[in-house]
């Protein structure tokens, strides 16, 4: 019994010692719990915050994508409209160019006509009695200028005067020339003589006309079938 009692005492002592050691280790095993960033919230709550943030950013991204799509669509529409406008605008542009060319040609013709006939902007026509008309003999037929002057005087051109001097060139047809601003008067003189050719006064004729505004250059058509072709002396033309 003594041996058994001793064994039981040792067993009880060992158990007591193990219990004391386990009790001593228990406080040291409970280490302080470290908390992570996130306010100590449980992982489930932190996941909810992340999900909410993602959901909150999603509408903004969708808005950006929609805006980009709208801009691309507008650019495409503008390109298409510009292409169609360029195609349809070719014919009107050509027509406009042709119209402008015709307008310039008309303007040029008008300017040329005005330069050739400066009397188109002339003052009112004077009466035949006031018209200053000079008659030159453009042929070698004597007294032809006198004959035409007399004819004009009978038509009311009392100031029609035969002048000496021979205009240059050969004159097969009678010509009525006029100074600037007197085309209408020249047309009336030509009508009185039955002449169709009316033109601005030539530079070579102007010195021979003096102060006259209308000059008649008698041609061979007014010499008449019975007129003399030249003077007896063979000299220059005689008024």
Residues 72 and 142 in one domain: no
pLDDT given at position 84: 84
Residues 140 and 206 in one domain: yes
Domain that holds residue 146: 133-222
Residues 74 and 138 in one domain: no
The three-state secondary structure class of 154 is helix
Residues 78 and 139 in one domain: no
What is the count of structural domains for the chain?
2
| 234 within a domain of the structure (yes/no) | no
Partners of residue 161 on adjacent β-strands:
134
pLDDT given at position 24: 46
| 207 within a domain of the structure (yes/no) | yes
Q: What is the mean pLDDT of each run of 10 residues along the chain (239 residues)?
A: 60 58 48 50 51 60 88 91 71 55 53 45 76 94 93 95 89 94 95 95 92 94 58 44
Residues 69 and 141 in one domain: no
| Residues ≥6 apart with Cβ < 8 Å to 231 | 140, 142, 237, 238
pLDDT given at position 231: 35
**CATH code for the domain in which residue 174 is found:** 3.30.70.2390
**What is the number of other CB atoms lying within 10 angstroms of the CB of residue 111?**
10
pTM of the model: 0.47
Report how far residue 150's alpha carbon sits from residue 222's, in angstroms, rounded to the nearest whole number.
13
């Amino acid at each position: 019994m003594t041996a058994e009692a001793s064994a039981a005492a040792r067993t009880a002592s060992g158990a007591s010692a193990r219990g004391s050691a386990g009790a001593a280790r228990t406080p040291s095993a409970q280490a302080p719990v470290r908390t992570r960033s996130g306010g100590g919230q449980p992982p489930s709550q932190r996941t909810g915050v992340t999900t909410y943030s993602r959901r909150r950013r999603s509408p903004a991204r969708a808005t950006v994508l929609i805006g980009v799509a709208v801009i691309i669509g507008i650019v495409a529409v503008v390109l298409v409209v510009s292409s169609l406008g360029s195609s349809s605008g070719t014919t009107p542009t050509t027509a406009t160019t042709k119209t402008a060319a015709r307008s310039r040609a008309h303007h040029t013709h008008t300017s040329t006509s005005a330069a050739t006939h400066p009397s188109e902007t002339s003052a009112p026509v004077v009466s035949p009695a006031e018209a200053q008309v000079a008659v030159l003999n453009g042929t070698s037929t004597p007294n032809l200028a006198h004959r035409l002057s007399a004819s004009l005087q009978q038509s009311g051109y009392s100031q029609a005067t035969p002048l000496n001097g021979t205009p240059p060139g050969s004159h097969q047809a009678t010509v009525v020339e006029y100074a600037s601003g007197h085309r209408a008067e020249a047309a009336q003189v030509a009508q009185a003589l039955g002449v169709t050719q009316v033109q601005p006064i030539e530079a070579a004729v102007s010195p021979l006309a003096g102060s006259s505004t209308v000059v008649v250059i008698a041609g061979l058509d007014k010499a008449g079938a019975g007129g003399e072709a030249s003077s007896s002396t063979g000299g220059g033309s005689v008024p």
